[in-house]
Amino acid sequence: MPAALLIPAGLGLLFLVLPLAGLLIRAPWTTLLERLTEPGALTALRLSVQTATLATALCLLLGVPLAWVLARVEFPGRRLVRALVTVPLVLPPVVGGVALLLVFGRRGLLGGWLDSTFGITLPFTTTGVVLAESFVAMPFLVIAVEGSLRAADHRYEEAAATLGASRWTTFTHVTLPLVAPGLAAGAVLCWARALGEFGATITFAGNYPGRTQTMPLAVYLALETDLESAIVLSLVLLVVSVGILVALRERWMTTA
Amino acid sequence: MSDRLLDARLVVDRGVFRLDVPLRVAPGEVVALLGPNGAGKTTALRALAGLHPLTDGHVTLDEVDLDRPATGGWVPTERRSIGVVFQDYLLFPHLSALDNVAFGPRRHGVERRAARATAREWLGRVGLDAQAQRRPRQLSGGQAQRVALARALAVAPSLLLLDEPLAALDARTRLDTRAELHRHLSAHAGATVLVTHDPLDALALADRLVIVEGGRVVQEGDGPSVTARPRTDYVARLVGLNLYRGRADGHGVRVSPELTLTVADRLDGEAFVAFRPAAVALHPARPEGSPRNTWAGTVADVQRHGDNVRVQLDGPIGVAADVTPAAAAQLRLVPGQKVWVAVKATETHAYPATG
């Protein structure tokens, strides 16, 4: 085996693993439980889980039909639509936050109308957090589900039709179960991305403890005041991420 | 009941390929669409199921137009009284055998418990009570085929469609399944159309054969008449006969400029002559006497064929001959060798090419 490949490979691995090891080494293990149960940490954790879950639900509600349309319906401009869907994947999240402000902000294109007509304010609210997270995380779900739909044999849908199933029943009773593994993987990826969201959230929803301050925001804030607290919060996010990875590996990726 | 439950003329244009197949099936009748790959059989089946719209013609089932482009008549697949057994069955992988069979009745408005009862009954009828809770991937090929049949029949369709129902099975399973399938098809009160490229399946399962080549019907009839009087090279090959077309004049049929075959039947005009490869005798020298057709041929190919040797010969007409291995050895048959070919008039079967 050539050293020219092995050495950079080893360095690369080290580069990826070392910071995580650092996190574990510097963690205040003795006071960990204490720190975790601090009200600020718990509040941020609860808010993060809640908003990420709501964002995932929103993404499923809108993203699955979008994936279905992209996978099953022939229409002009489909490639353009697919490209548009993936934009938030490559867009810096801060830019996403700014864009959300311009549309849903109090003086935004839709925000002003929402405010004056329904009295709904989105920026700097928990709903705003959910929107920011959904904006960034939805492409993960759409891409995963669309891929599964394309890979699924659409003749099962024809078989369902010959048995008298309407298009909608076919979708709920045949198509969705067939793509369930892809759907679950997409939802988990989506949830993980939403949980870690920082840039769009802080830009669009701000950083109010208990209302819009999610875990990543709390970590960033704690870094300036209380390093140990930042480490503990980071550790929690690390554990959740690894947990997701393991779940994905064992339950979906091997069977898919 | 009318004598034709299904009345259809299936016209589908697909670029250079055009399917145009008239099809009428009586209640309880089983019709096989038999033809080589690419003949348009599966397209015909998909058109009947409403999975492929017609370009022209019509599909009328039980006096209701399911598809008639001329008037815009169209009934979508899910509202047609049909059952389809797909070539690879397409059992829903996430449902048990029982729920696969119950799927149709459920969609037809039957309440869950009743639908399951119907499904259980059908699984019993195909001999799979014990496998009711199995997922499709836990079933053998033959079992999956029977579940697919039960699923298609559980909605009591007026028209049952089967696409190469036995093609996915190994030879041994195939024999058993074929016999069982025949029993179920005979019991089906509605019309049945099955598509196959296997003449044995068609002969064993169908009351009537419709032979399709290049999108057209080339021959139609019950098994014995089709096998006795093939009308195209494809059918002749299927039933293992040598077939020639020529002009008949009494007891002679001119099948090539250099060769007129003497036949036992007497007829005039355009005619077919058919004879079995086993009826062909090969000789090292021109045989004398006896009322035989003889001509000089050249061995093109020699292959083992069951217990015999099948010899393909070129000459005024191409012909297949079956000889014993002993005879083949004695004649030292190798490609390029010249031999004399002889066929007795009494071994031939001649019939008019028209009508």
pLDDT tens digits along B86-135 = 999 999 999 999 999 999 999 999 999 999 999 999 999 999 999 999 99
From chain B, pick out residues whose CB is under 8 angstroms from the CB of A159. 84, 86, 90, 92
Closest chain B residue to A175 measured between Cα atoms? B92
Instruction: Give tens-digit pLDDT for B165-208.
Output: 998 888 888 888 899 999 999 999 999 999 998 888 999 999 99
DSSP A76: T
What pLDDT score was predicted for residue A252?
A: 55
Q: Are B244 and B229 within one domain?
A: no
CA-to-CA dists, residue A49 to A88, A141, A171, A208, B211, angstroms: 21, 18, 30, 16, 65
Q: Is residue B180 domain-resident? A: yes
Q: Is residue A247 domain-resident? A: yes
Per-window interface: B 285-344 vs A, CB < 8 A: none
Q: Are B196 and B285 within one domain?
A: no
Question: Is the CB of B52 inside 8 Å of chain A's CB atoms?
Answer: no
Instruction: Give tens-digit pLDDT for A124-164.
Output: 999 999 999 999 999 999 999 999 999 999 999 999 999 99
CATH classification of the domain holding B193: 3.40.50.300
CATH classification of the domain holding A54: 1.10.3720.10
Q: Please, is B53 exposed, middle or buried when counting C-beta atoms within 10 Å of its C-beta (0-12, 13-18, 19+)?
A: exposed
Q: Are B54 and B168 within one domain?
A: yes
From chain B, pick out residues whose CB is under 8 angstroms from the CB of A161. 50-51, 76-78
DSSP A31: G
Q: Is residue B1 domain-resident? A: no
Q: Is residue A203 domain-resident? A: yes
Q: Is residue A61 domain-resident? A: yes
In 3D, which of A171, A194, A197, A179 has the Cα closest to residue A94? Answer: A197
Q: Is residue A110 domain-resident? A: yes
Q: Is residue A211 domain-resident? A: yes
Please state, in angstroms and rounded to a whole number, the distance separating the CA atoms of residues B251 and B255.
13
Round the average pLDDT of chain B to a whole number and report it.
Answer: 92
In 3D, which of B171, B208, B175, B174 has the Cα closest to residue B191? Answer: B208
ipTM, interface predicted TM-score of the complex:
0.83
Asked if the Cβ–Cβ distance from A178 to B76 is below 8 Å, we say: no
Q: What is the pTM (predicted TM-score) of this model?
A: 0.83
What pLDDT score was predicted for residue B48?
A: 97
Instruction: Give tens-digit pLDDT for A71-82.
Output: 999 999 999 999
Instruction: Give tens-digit pLDDT for A34-82.
Output: 888 888 888 998 999 999 999 999 999 999 999 999 999 999 999 999 9
Round the average pLDDT of chain A to a whole number and report it.
Answer: 91
What is the number of structural domains in chain A? 1
Can you give the residue range of the structural domain that contains B269? 240-352
Split at pLDDT 50, 70, 90, the class of B290 is low
What pLDDT score was predicted for residue A92?
A: 94
Among B66, B77, B84, B159, which would you mutate to test the A interface (most chain A Cβ atoms within 10 Å of its Cβ)? Answer: B77
Q: Are B160 and B251 within one domain?
A: no
Asked if the model's pLDDT at residue B288 lies above 70, the reply is yes
Q: Are B210 and B279 within one domain?
A: no
Q: Are B93 and B180 within one domain?
A: yes
Tell me the nearest-neighbour CA distance from B58 into chain A, angstroms.
19
Higher pLDDT, A118 or A245: A118
Q: Is residue A18 domain-resident? A: no
What is the number of structural domains in chain B? 2
Please state, in angstroms and rounded to a whole number, the distance separating the CA atoms of residues A148 and A181.
8
Name the domain boundary from B209, B236, B263: B236
Instruction: Give tens-digit pLDDT for A7-28.
Output: 999 999 999 999 999 999 988 8
Asked if the model's pLDDT at residue A255 lies above 50, the reply is no
Q: Is residue A28 domain-resident? A: no
What's the 3-state SS for B12-62?
EEECCEEEEEEEEECCCCEEEEECCCCCCHHHHHHHHHCCCCCCEEEEEEC
Mean pLDDT of B273-286: 91
Split at pLDDT 50, 70, 90, the class of B1 is very low
The percent of residues above 70 in pLDDT, for chain B, comes to 98
Query: What residues does B19 pair with on adjacent strands?
Result: B12
Q: Is residue B120 domain-resident? A: yes
Query: What residues does B219 pair with on adjacent strands?
Result: B211
Asked if the Cβ–Cβ distance from B76 to A161 is below 8 Å, we say: yes
